[in-house]
Amino acid sequence: MSGIISKEVLLSKFKGALVGAVLGDCIGSLFEGLWAKSIQVEKVLQNIGQLESAYDAEKDAKKPEKQHKLLWDYTDDTAMARSVAMSLIENKGLNPSHLAQLFSEEYFANPYRGYGGGIITVFTKLRDTEYSDPYKPASEQFDGAGSYGNGGAMRIVPAPLFAYKQNDVEKLTELVEQITKITHSHPSAVDGAIFQSFAVDQALRGPEEVNIGSFCDELQRRIREREESEVTRDQCTSPSEYPYASIVDDIRKYASQDSLPSEEEISENLGTDISAYRSVPAAVYSFLRATKPIDKLQDRNSFEKTIILAITLGGDTDTIATMAGAIAGACYGIEAIPKSWQAGCEAVDDALKFAEQLHQLSVSD
Ligand code: F2R
Ligand code: MG
Ligand code: MG
């Protein structure tokens, strides 16, 4: 899929992936739950303009970048991604009880981050049982069906970074499945997280010049293999036998169109809600469509276009933008992410630190 990537470029891509995810969450959360019609690209640009002028003002006042005032906080998406990163780094692999504990402790320390309604029950049961069976509480959600929410996919970005070195799709799939099932056991949530992790992995390994056709072909091949290997398809609420593999056809169609599809069309056909199946495809679409020109965004690079486009789709904007930002950051690297955006959003420093630590694990023997 790619040529050899130097250590420096790989580090830039790791940083881009984690920082891109944080920024998508922080900026996207300002619009979460709004209809696309009430967002409009101008409104998103206005908010981004705030970040940019605050940055310029502080720079003019000669304030060091680290001391710039933070404008926007992250939400549950980043809170959970941070726990995934910290646990993988500390354990040099997955320790399900430890990760369950980090998720739960983080929630009880900062419960105001806008978590999903159901997942709080999982955190409570995990804490009350002292993390003894980290998969049981999630398996009991929704009368045993498990959550199909996008909470697994929204936080998964550290996993493809951690698994980068192995370069083994099956191992990545297994890692993502085990991380996701701590809170989301529904097949659609698990496959959504796997789908998102494949997109990040491909962006890490691929060139900056994205070919929409080959990106979709590879993504479809990988996810079809996963869907074919599953046995419990009867629980799935999705419209076809291979839901994620099938929806790649729509992602490809909409991303390849020269004229920008309307937000309504994307929302109706790919989805912009809190379920994994109806949000992860919109994130991949945003990344791919942003490789092409977009009206009113001619002076923005492809990373910036990805975030802005993802938010203008409306609905679950923080989560779609965090997933899209992770893929775009993995593709274009940290240099593509404006310094002004990084300076105004919470916890970017930590994302950079986690990227260095995951990169270190990736390049060491
Ligand atoms: N929760 C939100 N946003 C709303 C409030 C945010 C507001 N800005 C604020 O400040 O308060 N966002 C976050 O939630 C999404 C991720 O959710 P997650 O982690 O998947 O949670 P959960 O509870 O497992 O699932 C979400 C809801 O989906 C429905 N659902 C899931 N599985 C179901 C099933 N098998 N049967 C029926 N319903 C099911 C339920 O309504 C769940 O509560 C992200 O957007 C994140 O940003
Ligand atoms: Mg959120
Ligand atoms: Mg959300």
User: What is residue 320's predicted lDDT score, i.e. its pLDDT?
Assistant: 98
Q: Cβ(315) to ligand 1 under 6 A?
A: no
- Terminal Cα-to-Cα distance of the chain (whole angstroms): 23
34, 115, 190, best to mutate for ligand 1 pocket (most atoms within 8 Å of CB): 115
Quick one: tokens of 4? 């050899």
E-assigned strand segments in the chain: none
Comparing 70-84, 200-214, 232-246, 291-305, the range with the smallest average pLDDT is: 232-246
Residue ranges per structural domain of the chain: 7-363
Average confidence (pLDDT) over 148-177: 98
Average confidence (pLDDT) over 30-49: 94
User: What is residue 177's predicted lDDT score, i.e. its pLDDT?
Assistant: 98
CB 285 within 8 A of CB 254: yes
Average confidence (pLDDT) over 155-165: 98
Average confidence (pLDDT) over 158-187: 97
Cα 249 to ligand 2 centre (Å): 28
Beta carbons within 8 Å of 133's beta carbon, 6+ residues apart: none
How far is it, in rounded angstroms, from Cα 84 to Cα 98?
Answer: 10
Whose alpha carbon is nearest atom 4 of ligand 1?
114
Q: Among all chains, which residue has been given the structure tokens 């994205």?
A: 210
Comparing 17-21, 56-60, 77-81, 114-118, the range with the smallest average pLDDT is: 56-60
E-assigned strand segments in 162-267: none
**Ligand 1 atom nearest to 318, measured from its CA:** 47
Beta carbons within 8 Å of 58's beta carbon, 6+ residues apart: 67, 68, 69, 343
Percent of the chain at pLDDT > 70 equals: 96
Average confidence (pLDDT) over 157-186: 98
Average confidence (pLDDT) over 287-313: 98
DSSP 312: H
- What is the phi/psi pair of residue 137, to 5°? -55, -40
> How many other C-beta atoms lie within 10 A of the C-beta of residue 113?
18
Segment 41-48 long-range contacts (CB within 8 Å, at least 24 positions apart): 41/296, 41/297, 41/308, 41/312, 42/296, 44/308, 44/311, 44/312, 45/296, 45/308, 48/304, 48/308, 48/341
Q: Is residue 93 pLDDT above 60, yes or no?
A: yes
CATH of domain 7-363: 1.10.4080.10
CB 16 within 8 A of CB 330: yes
32, 78, 112, 274, best to mutate for ligand 1 pocket (most atoms within 8 Å of CB): 274
Average confidence (pLDDT) over 170-174: 97
CB 326 within 8 A of CB 29: no
User: What is residue 232's predicted lDDT score, i.e. its pLDDT?
Assistant: 53
Beta carbons within 8 Å of 7's beta carbon, 6+ residues apart: 359, 363
Q: Cβ(114) to ligand 1 under 6 A?
A: yes
Cα 214 to ligand 1 centre (Å): 33
Q: Cβ(319) to ligand 1 under 6 A?
A: yes
Comparing 94-108, 230-244, 351-365, the range with the smallest average pLDDT is: 230-244
Mean pLDDT of all residues belonging to the chain: 95
User: What is residue 74's predicted lDDT score, i.e. its pLDDT?
Assistant: 98
> pLDDT grade, residue 68 (50/70/90)?
confident
Average confidence (pLDDT) over 346-358: 98
Count of alpha carbons within 13 angstroms of residue 308, beta-carbon side:
27
> pLDDT grade, residue 70 (50/70/90)?
confident
Q: Which helix (H) or strand (E) holds 287?
A: helix 280-289
DSSP3 helix / strand / coil % (the chain, rounded to 5): 65, 0, 30
Q: 149: helix, coil or strand?
A: strand
Q: C-alpha 292: how far from its chain's center? A: 21
Q: What is the pLDDT of residues 328-347, one digit of tens each?
A: 999 999 999 999 999 999 99
Average confidence (pLDDT) over 220-226: 96
User: What is residue 226's predicted lDDT score, i.e. its pLDDT?
Assistant: 94
Cα 20 to ligand 1 centre (Å): 22
Percent of the chain at pLDDT > 90 equals: 90
Q: Is residue 108 pLDDT above 60, yes or no?
A: yes
Q: What is the pLDDT of residues 235-294, one digit of tens each?
A: 555 545 789 999 999 999 999 999 999 999 999 999 999 999 999 999 999 999 999 999
User: Per DSSP, what are the bridge partners of residue 24?
Assistant: none
Cα 201 to ligand 1 centre (Å): 26
> Cα dihedral angle (137, 95, 324, 204), rounded to 10 degrees?
-160
Closest of 359, 350, 355 to residue 26, by C-alpha = 350
Residues in the chain: 365
